Amino acid sequence: MTDPVVLKGTVVTPPELIPGGMVVVESGGITYVGPAISVEGEVRDFGDLLVAPGLIDIHVHGGGGHDAMAASREALEGVSTYLAAQGVTSFLATTYTAPADETLRAARAIGKTVRTGTSGARLLGLHAEGPFINPERAGAQSARDIRTPSLEEASELYDASDGTLRMMTLAPELEGAASVVGWLADRGVVPSAGHSDATYDEMMTGVEEGVRHASHLFNGMRPFHHREPGVAGAALADDRVTVELIADGVHLHPAALGLAVGLKGPRRTALVSDAISAAGLRDGVYSLGGQRVEVRGGVCTLESGALAGSTLTLNEAVRNMVELVGTPIGEAVMMASSTPPDIIGEARRGRLEPGMEADVTIFDWDFRVLLTMVGGRVVYEAA
């Protein structure tokens, strides 16, 4: 047993805020959350700053020069360390459409690293973005590596990840997608619609088959039209479906962000970064799956002008929701902390409550990260 650690500040228990509150951490878990009381232990008083649940990114390809597709523990450790400095305490390493052997190597590395652990943000598993996507909505995904939905390939990927595949983004309208969706759902893997040209009816058929999420809503999918609402319209209208938003002010207009949250609510809307390895680095020319990506002003584009992921951090996404959309702080934090683990079935993360894992991030009121704690262990502290 270790002595309790007491964190004092404005405690965020999404969506509520407790001014003058405190969180007590013991043996890696949370034992008390509420108004300040007398407790023996190490006290860290952050004044009125925000003591919040750690952020959880369920769609991130890399950052700090590290790429989940590198298929090595070193790369995943690099992503983990980079994310911890952005207030992220858990993440899904996200692959993109690539040759099957490359994806399987990445899945094996992710599965092994989940088991051995990381020193920064905790790796929860794999989010496979592709390869069963629609070429018409490939975006920055490699069109030459897109493949027809296959139960055999889905099973190989699941096994390669040692059962840590947690989400797959696919196009539900494709031939063979229905069987893959059902197979994933039966194993607790979240089937997510994305890079899809599905009509509203095709998406609703996918929902009946088990689709429960929509990746980077509005991006990489048939545009919403008042006579053909498409994937986005179906996802916004059906309470069985959760959605994710890239709140960088580039992928989505603030009005679109506000519209989505207004319809889905913060409990069914997850903020994601969709960050690539160039996140955290200077503007310049980088590579994404062998494609040339130019980063200018933090915006990532292919030579065609198509957006290619982002350099967004999740704490910036929270701040943007507050500043650009006017979302209350507690709800903005919820979308990046408690909603993502609910989507992937991580019951003990994302909230400041007794019995939860002690994953905590300390922010100032501009959402700059001062300290990140994973399982009661400080993994990042600002100098």
Query: Do 128 and 190 lie in a common domain?
Result: yes
Query: Do 65 and 198 lie in a common domain?
Result: yes
pLDDT digits (tens, 9 = 90+) for 245-257: 999 999 999 999 9
Distance of CA 20 to the CA centre of its chain: 30
- According to DSSP, the β-strands at 291-296 and 284-288 are antiparallel
pLDDT digits (tens, 9 = 90+) for 325-364: 999 999 999 999 999 999 999 989 999 999 999 999 999 9
Query: Do 123 and 189 lie in a common domain?
Result: yes
Claim: this prediction has a pTM higher than 0.85: yes
For 22, counting Cβ atoms within 10 Å of its Cβ (0-12 exposed, 13-18 middle, 19+ buried), the class is: buried
3-class SS string, 272-284: CCCECCCCCCCCE
Backbone angles phi, psi at 82, to 5 degrees: -60, -45
Give me the domain span that covers residue 144. Answer: 55-344
Query: Do 118 and 229 lie in a common domain?
Result: yes
Query: Do 38 and 166 lie in a common domain?
Result: no
Distance of CA 256 to the CA centre of its chain: 19
Query: Do 169 and 243 lie in a common domain?
Result: yes
pLDDT digits (tens, 9 = 90+) for 267-279: 999 999 999 999 9
Measured CA to CA, the distance from residue 100 to residue 226 in angstroms comes to 38
Q: Which of 197, 274, 342, 359 is catalytic?
A: 274
Query: Do 335 and 365 lie in a common domain?
Result: no
Which CATH number do you get for residue 252?
3.20.20.140
Query: Do 37 and 95 lie in a common domain?
Result: no
Rg (CA), the chain: 20
Which CATH number do you get for residue 36?
2.30.40.10
Query: Do 234 and 182 lie in a common domain?
Result: yes
pLDDT digits (tens, 9 = 90+) for 277-307: 999 999 999 988 888 999 999 999 999 999 9
The total domain count for the chain is 2
Task: Give the model's pLDDT for residue 128.
Answer: 98
Query: Do 31 and 66 lie in a common domain?
Result: no
Classified as helix, coil or strand, 163 is coil
For 140, counting Cβ atoms within 10 Å of its Cβ (0-12 exposed, 13-18 middle, 19+ buried), the class is: buried
Query: Do 201 and 76 lie in a common domain?
Result: yes
Q: Judge whether 274 counts as a catalytic residue.
A: yes
